[in-house]
């Protein structure tokens, strides 16, 4: 008797990516710790940011505070003290918003890979006709999409709150074209960088906490750049913005290639422990 | 009959370790092929090679009609594999698990649903289709993993220890399923430590330790190593003079004591056994039972694969002359596959 023909066909790339993303999200939704770690940073940043802008609007700063602000942020010099304080707070929290696309997707990506290692689900996955490139792409998107959406949602809420509660300076700060562009362009680029870094690190370690500690270092340059900008040491004008975006894009490609090299079928099965 | 699998000189090196050494193998379609060997023999590596999960260091193979190294994606589509660990997504339901893998195998949504239902019913899991796999027992998870391995109707199915850790009922379901796969004309490549299972299910068996040491049907392996043996229960217990007397009987290849009885190996028991009975009775022994001795495949395995750990009670108590102990000489490992 001849064996019946297999039903397997070359799977459509879109269908694979969609299936993997949906599967990852369903799994993630069932992981309370991961859900908590995904939503906690934006919720905390959002709540504290809105609260401080609201408090600053009701309580004028002292002379000493104003002098300290002018010294720390020369860009605010000449503004009305109340305006300056709110503007500074609003801008400072915008920098913290840029941390969301580095912290949140990192956690999701790390759980995505280390979780599969621990559950021994990678071998059956790799035994299908799916290419490892498709698998990596799908995993990247599965971590990137929710992180970008969470960041944008948090920014939208923050924007609405500051416009409703804050001063003109605060409103101007959060709607500055540079920041809007950063949200649209930098957030996805930063998220991708964080995700692929998370995947790359996860190929090397088995402990989620160790991976998070290593991956968490990505926050440092982001924070440094933001503080430098507030303090006037770096001015993110059009040219600097384009350069930063280009740098991020290159970093994204480099880290993706590194993750792709680490994410080889044989490496995963034989060398990953 | 078409060939499901052909390997020639297939070799896999990991740094300084040669895990698979020049594998020569040919498995026809529709066969249940047993792949037996000790831990660390390279069985899982061989499976991964043949499923195009890792690439060989040397050699070639054709799996389900596709060339390894050239048609890897098509090989993966044409074969199914049950890995050592079930590897299921525990937070997903049974149905979600199967539908997910069906998508990766390129099944249309309608076909995927139909196949998932078919195999969940076959494995007795249809009523639990909406439950998270995390709530399943080890046996249920294993059955789920088997359903996943055959969901896309592969022509060749690789099963790595399919019944390990299962209760007798679940193990029986799995064994029946393997028999059903053969009935459909599919080829099953069965890696197992369960020699009784291999004996019952496999058409042919390869003993493997980095390469094929011996390959044959279970019956031939037994006969080749142990000849055709008969057990003579006698009273009183066999004495040295009984053994010496029987050893001189024409047609007897070997005689030894085992569990208080005499075991006589001969080429033609129908002719030899009456002579043995006569000699024993003439010597004053009472023959109470004469039964056919069917050695366990485990004995065969140990003598071929791990001769140093083979049961000593069988081999040490032999009393025939060296010239008649031919099976020992044949038990030296030799590649035939």
What's the confidence (pLDDT) of residue B321?
Answer: 34
d(CA B293, CA B305): 22
Please list every residue in chain B whose beta carbon sits closer than 8 Å to the beta carbon of residue A17: none
Residue B333 has pLDDT above 90, yes or no: no
Average pLDDT over residues B257-282: 91
What's the confidence (pLDDT) of residue B193?
Answer: 82
Q: Is A57 exposed, middle or buried (0-12, 13-18, 19+ CB in 10 A)?
A: middle
Structure tokens at B155: 């022509």
Structure tokens at B147: 């359903």
Residue A66 has pLDDT above 80, yes or no: no
pLDDT band of residue A9 (cuts 50, 70, 90) is confident
Residue B15 has pLDDT above 60, yes or no: yes
Per-residue pLDDT of B143-153, as tens digits, reads 999 999 999 99
Query: Which residue from A minimizes the CA distance to B89?
Result: A121
ipTM over cut 0.95: no
Residue A5 touches chain B, beta carbons under 8 Å: yes
CATH code at B227-330: 3.30.70.100
For the residues of B251-289, what is the DSSP string, one character each? TEEEEEEETTEEEEEES-HHHHHHHHHHHHHHTT-EEEE
pLDDT band of residue A240 (cuts 50, 70, 90) is confident
In this predicted model, which residue has the larger pLDDT, A226 or A14? A14
d(CA B38, CA B207): 9
| Mean predicted lDDT score pLDDT of chain A | 82
Average pLDDT over residues B290-295: 82
In this predicted model, which residue has the larger pLDDT, B287 or A214? B287
Minimum-distance CB partner of A8 among B51, B105, B148: B105
- β partners of residue B262: B232, B257
Question: Which residue intervals of chain B bear CATH 3.30.70.100?
Answer: 227-330
Tell me whether strands B187-191 and B156-160 are parallel, antiparallel or unpaired.
Answer: parallel
| Mean predicted lDDT score pLDDT of chain B | 86
Per-residue pLDDT of B295-323, as tens digits, reads 677 777 777 777 655 554 343 334 333 33
Average pLDDT over residues A113-132: 88
Percent of chain B with pLDDT over 90: 62
What's the confidence (pLDDT) of residue B133?
Answer: 95
- β partners of residue B265: B229, B254
Phi, psi of B252 (to 5 degrees): -80, 125
Handedness of CA B186, B189, B194, B195 (dihedral sign): positive
Listed range (A186-190, B225-229, B256-260) with the worst mean pLDDT: B225-229
Pick the CATH number of B3-216 from 3.40.640.10, 1.20.1250.20, 3.40.50.300, 3.40.109.10: 3.40.50.300
For A178, how many CA atoms within 13 A lie in the half-sphere containing its CB?
17
Average pLDDT over residues B271-299: 88
Average pLDDT over residues B80-86: 91
Q: Please tell me the distance in Å from A177's CA to the nearest CA on chain B.
A: 43
Q: Please tell me the distance in Å from B188's CA to the nearest CA on chain A.
A: 11
Report which DSSP code applies to B236. S
Question: Which residue intervals of chain B bear CATH 3.40.50.300?
Answer: 3-216
- What is the number of other CB atoms lying within 10 angstroms of the CB of residue A241? 17
Q: Please tell me the distance in Å from B167's CA to the nearest CA on chain A.
A: 22
User: Residue A184 contacts by C-beta under 8 Å, 6 or more apart in sequence?
Assistant: none
Please list every residue in chain B whose beta carbon sits closer than 8 Å to the beta carbon of residue A15: 103, 106
Per-residue pLDDT of B163-184, as tens digits, reads 987 888 888 889 999 999 999 9
């Amino acid at each position: 008797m001849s064996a019946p023909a297999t039903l397997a066909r070359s799977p459509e790339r879109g269908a694979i990516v969609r299936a993997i993303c949906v599967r990852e999200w369903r799994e993630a939704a069932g992981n309370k710790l991961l859900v908590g770690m995904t939503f906690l940073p934006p919720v905390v940043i959002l709540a504290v940011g809105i609260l401080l802008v609201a408090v600053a609007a009701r309580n004028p700063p002292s002379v000493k505070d104003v002098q300290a602000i002018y010294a720390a942020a020369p860009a605010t010099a000449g503004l009305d003290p109340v305006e300056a304080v709110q503007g500074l707070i609003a801008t400072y929290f915008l920098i913290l918003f840029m941390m969301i696309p580095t912290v949140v997707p990192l956690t999701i990506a790390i759980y995505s890979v280390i979780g599969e290692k621990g559950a021994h689900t990678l071998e059956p996955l790799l035994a299908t006709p799916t290419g490892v490139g498709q698998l990596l792409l799908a995993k990247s998107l599965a971590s990137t999409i929710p992180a970008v959406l969470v960041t944008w949602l948090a920014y939208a809420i923050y924007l609405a709150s500051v416009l409703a509660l804050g001063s003109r300076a605060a409103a101007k700060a959060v709607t500055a074209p540079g920041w809007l562009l950063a949200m649209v362009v930098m957030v996805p680029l930063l998220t991708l960088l964080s995700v692929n870094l998370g995947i790359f690190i996860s190929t090397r370690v088995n402990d989620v906490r160790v991976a998070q500690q290593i991956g968490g270092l990505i926050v440092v340059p982001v924070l440094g750049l933001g503080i430098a900008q507030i303090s006037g040491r770096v001015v993110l004008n059009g040219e600097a913005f384009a350069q930063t975006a280009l740098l991020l894009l290159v970093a994204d490609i480099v880290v993706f290639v590194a993750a792709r090299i680490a994410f080889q079928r044989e490496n995963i099965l034989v060398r990953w422990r | 009959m078409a060939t499901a699998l052909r390997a020639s000189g297939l070799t896999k090196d990991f740094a300084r370790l040669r895990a698979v050494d020049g594998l020569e193998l040919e498995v026809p379609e529709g066969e249940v092929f047993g792949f037996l060997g000790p831990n660390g023999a390279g069985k899982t590596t061989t499976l991964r090679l043949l499923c195009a999960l890792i690439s060989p260091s040397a050699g070639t193979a054709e799996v389900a009609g596709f060339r390894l190294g050239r048609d890897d994606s098509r090989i993966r589509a044409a074969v199914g594999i049950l890995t050592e660990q079930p590897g299921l997504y525990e937070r997903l339901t049974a149905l979600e698990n199967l539908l997910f893998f069906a998508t990766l195998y390129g099944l249309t949504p309608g076909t995927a649903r139909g196949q998932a239902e078919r195999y969940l019913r076959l494995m007795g899991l249809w009523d639990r289709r909406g439950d998270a796999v995390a709530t399943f027992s080890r046996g249920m998870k294993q059955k789920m993993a088997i359903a996943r391995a055959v969901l896309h109707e592969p022509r060749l199915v690789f099963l790595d220890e399919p019944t390990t850790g299962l209760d007798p009922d679940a193990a029986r379901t799995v064994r029946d399923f393997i028999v059903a796969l053969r009935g459909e004309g599919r080829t099953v490549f069965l890696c197992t430590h369960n020699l009784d299972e291999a004996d019952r299910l496999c058409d042919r068996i390869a003993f493997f330790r980095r390469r094929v040491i011996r390959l044959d049907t279970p019956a031939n392996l037994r006969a080749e190593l142990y000849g055709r043996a008969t057990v003579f229960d006698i009273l009183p217990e066999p004495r040295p003079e009984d053994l010496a007397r029987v050893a001189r009987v024409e047609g007897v290849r070997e005689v030894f004591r085992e569990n208080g009885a005499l075991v006589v190996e001969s080429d033609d028991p129908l002719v030899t056994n009456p002579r043995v009975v006569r000699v024993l009775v003439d010597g004053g022994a009472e023959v109470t039972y004469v039964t056919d001795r069917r050695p366990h495949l485990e004995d065969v395995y140990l003598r071929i694969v791990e001769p140093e750990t083979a049961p000593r009670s069988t081999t040490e108590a032999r009393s025939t002359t060296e010239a008649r102990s031919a099976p020992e000489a044949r038990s030296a490992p030799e590649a035939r596959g």
